[in-house]
């Protein structure tokens, strides 16, 4: 009886030690996986916040470029307007002088004077145009370089993040190794590389320079849609200033009169008016008059409007010009693209003037060192952004509005301990049914059926999510630094939910086939307790 009792006590002690040790080690492995997933999500959130701040800096450079473009566009528009007025005065001078200078109006003399004043104003402008234009061009090129440097810093940060979260050895493996060094059996803890396939999709670079919305990757490090940067810049630059030029009529008239010595010896009853209407500025991405506003590959700014000249002499009544359309296109483009164009033409069919195009000399407002996609040509340098296809609400359960998850897997390989490492483990298998069809197998590393169960596996998922307090409806973006991190269920999206056909968790634990099979079998039985 004593021997039987001692045998039972020894059996109970061994069972307690064996089960307790495995439970403790399982908790330790799961804690390591949680720590790795959360650390990966924290690293992702911090990187995204840094990228957002750098995007704001890039927008500041874009705003400065846009301000310079605005001044260029305005000055060029005024210059084109003076050219248009000069050609109209020449047309009227030739017509009136052909019939002689008839008193008391003396229109031939007046049109000749107006023409000479317009020629003088053009000469005054052109005298300092080239130098000022080159200065503005140098500033634009300098700003482009600064924006390119910012983009380089963003891509460097993102590459570092990918090395931490995706590539092995990464952050998860580093955490496992540090704990493994303090254990009794070196080399038993590791982070298998099979998880890289999942994290690559979540944090990979979307289709290189094209930023394909249908790409599985959620991030665009180059070729991001410029419309987002455009909206951010327009919002910073004060939208009405750039979109509507409603205040140009009086400004243009004052400038025209001041710089041209009034263009007319104004006396009692004499009057001169410059009327501009439908004036506006806009962005274009094509060398076309009335071209569509640019959304992708923006490279220029256009100012356009209509010129109406009214000249009056005492007792002779006003003479109104036919409306003249004036367009000024300022191109900040690569050296291989066209030069600036300033265009004006009669609005009325059969008018006295053909269309006229003023083209700047080579090198005006043209950028050098363009190496797309990292440093693309145009007003909008490359920047890092979320893939727009992933922020689409219609794909919220697939892509989580572009918020990436970070999956971590930690494995403990018991085979590294050797057969005598755990002397209290009782290795046996017994039949649990009379028909011998089901057995309880406790043989250790390999079951009686030959299945390798030597690896203890734990999986965890972190999420880098976006939230700004009081703005729940604001979509995730890379212009506000409000990215945070948390642990979530691995089944938070359809790709990770085995019940919805997702295979992320099975893929992540691919180094342990039996663990993958357990996930599949449990999901088929309706199990919902996924970590």
Token pair for 212:
């394909």
pLDDT digits (tens, 9 = 90+) for 289-318: 444 444 334 455 666 666 667 776 667 777
Look at residue 254 and tell me whether its pLDDT is greater than 80.
Answer: no
Q: State residue 501's pLDDT score.
A: 86
Torsion over CA: 516, 519, 522, 526 (sign) = negative
Look at residue 241 and tell me whether its pLDDT is greater than 80.
Answer: no
Return the CA Rg of the chain. 37
- pLDDT interval class at 73 (50, 70, 90): confident
Q: State residue 127's pLDDT score.
A: 87
Token pair for 485:
């991190």
**How large is the average pLDDT for residues 430-450?**
66
Q: Are 271 and 319 in contact (CB under 8 A)?
A: no
Look at residue 169 and tell me whether its pLDDT is greater than 70.
Answer: no
Q: State residue 37's pLDDT score.
A: 94
Token pair for 35:
């720590």
Domain ranges in the chain are 69-123+243-366
Look at residue 287 and tell me whether its pLDDT is greater than 50.
Answer: no
Q: Are 148 and 381 in contact (CB under 8 A)?
A: yes
Q: State residue 259's pLDDT score.
A: 46
pLDDT digits (tens, 9 = 90+) for 223-236: 666 666 666 666 65
Cα–Cα distance measured from residue 519 to residue 349, given in angstroms and rounded to the nearest whole number: 76
- Nearest C-alpha neighbor of 490 from the set 453, 524, 519, 521: 519
Look at residue 403 and tell me whether its pLDDT is greater than 90.
Answer: yes
- Higher-confidence residue: 491 or 84? 491
Look at residue 98 and tell me whether its pLDDT is greater than 70.
Answer: yes
Q: State residue 282's pLDDT score.
A: 56
Confidence (pTM): 0.77
Residue position matching structure tokens 């009379």: 434
Give the phi and the psi of residue 364 in degrees, each rounded to 5. Answer: -80, 125
Look at residue 204 and tell me whether its pLDDT is greater than 90.
Answer: no
Q: State residue 410's pLDDT score.
A: 92
Query: 430: burial class by Cβ within 10 Å (0-12, 13-18, 19+)?
Result: exposed
- Nearest C-alpha neighbor of 78 from the set 258, 220, 228, 226: 258
Q: Average model confidence (pLDDT) for the chain? A: 75
pLDDT digits (tens, 9 = 90+) for 36-47: 999 999 999 999
Q: State residue 260's pLDDT score.
A: 44
**How large is the average pLDDT for residues 97-117?**
83
């Amino acid at each position: 009886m004593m021997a039987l009792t001692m045998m039972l006590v020894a059996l109970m002690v061994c069972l307690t030690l064996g089960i307790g040790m495995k439970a403790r080690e399982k908790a330790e492995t799961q804690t390591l996986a949680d720590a790795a997933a959360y650390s990966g999500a924290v690293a992702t959130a911090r990187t995204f916040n840094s990228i957002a701040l750098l995007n704001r800096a890039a927008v500041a450079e874009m705003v400065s470029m846009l301000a310079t473009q605005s001044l260029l566009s305005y000055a060029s528009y005024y210059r084109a307007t003076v050219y248009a007025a000069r050609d109209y005065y020449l047309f009227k001078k030739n017509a009136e002088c052909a019939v002689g200078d008839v008193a008391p109006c003396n229109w031939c003399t007046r049109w000749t004077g107006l023409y000479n004043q317009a020629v003088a104003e053009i000469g005054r402008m052109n005298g300092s145009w080239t130098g000022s234009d080159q200065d503005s061009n140098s500033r634009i090129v300098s700003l482009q370089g600064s924006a390119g440097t910012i983009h380089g810093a963003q891509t460097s940060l993102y590459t570092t993040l990918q090395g931490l979260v995706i590539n092995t050895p990464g952050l998860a493996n580093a955490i496992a190794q540090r704990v493994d060094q303090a254990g009794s059996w070196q080399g038993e803890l590791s982070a298998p590389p099979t998880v890289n396939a999942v994290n690559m999709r979540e944090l990979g670079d979307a289709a290189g320079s094209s930023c394909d919305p249908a790409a599985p990757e959620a991030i665009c490090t180059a070729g991001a849609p410029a419309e987002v940067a455009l909206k951010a810049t327009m919002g910073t630059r004060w939208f009405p200033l750039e979109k509507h030029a409603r205040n140009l009529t009086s400004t243009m008239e004052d400038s025209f009169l001041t710089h041209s010595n009034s263009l007319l010896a104004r006396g009692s009853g004499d009057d001169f008016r410059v009327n501009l209407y439908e004036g506006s500025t806009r962005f274009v991405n094509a060398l076309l008059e009335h071209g569509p506003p640019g959304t992708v590959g923006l490279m220029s700014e256009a100012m356009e409007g209509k010129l109406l000249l009214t000249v009056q002499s005492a007792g002779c009544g006003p003479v109104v010009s036919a409306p003249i359309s004036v367009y000024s296109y300022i191109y900040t483009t690569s050296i291989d693209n066209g030069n600036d164009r300033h265009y004006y033409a009669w609005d009325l069919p059969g008018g006295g003037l053909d269309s006229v195009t003023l083209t700047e000399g080579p090198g005006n407002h043209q950028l050098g060192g363009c190496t797309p996609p990292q440093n693309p040509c145009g007003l909008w340098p490359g920047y890092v952004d979320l893939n727009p296809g992933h922020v689409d609400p219609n794909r919220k359960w697939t892509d989580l509005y572009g918020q990436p998850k970070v999956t971590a897997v930690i494995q403990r390989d018991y085979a590294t301990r050797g057969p005598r490492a755990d002397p209290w483990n009782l290795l046996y298998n017994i039949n649990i049914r009379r028909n011998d069809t089901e057995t309880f197998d406790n043989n250790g590393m390999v079951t009686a059926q030959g299945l390798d169960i030597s690896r203890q596996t734990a999986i965890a998922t972190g999420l880098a999510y976006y939230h700004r307090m009081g703005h729940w409806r604001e979509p995730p973006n890379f212009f506000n630094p409000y990215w945070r991190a948390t642990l979530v269920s691995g089944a938070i999206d359809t790709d990770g939910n085995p019940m919805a056909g997702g295979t992320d968790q099975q893929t992540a634990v691919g180094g342990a086939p039996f663990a993958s099979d357990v996930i599949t079998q449990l999901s088929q039985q309706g199990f919902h307790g996924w970590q």
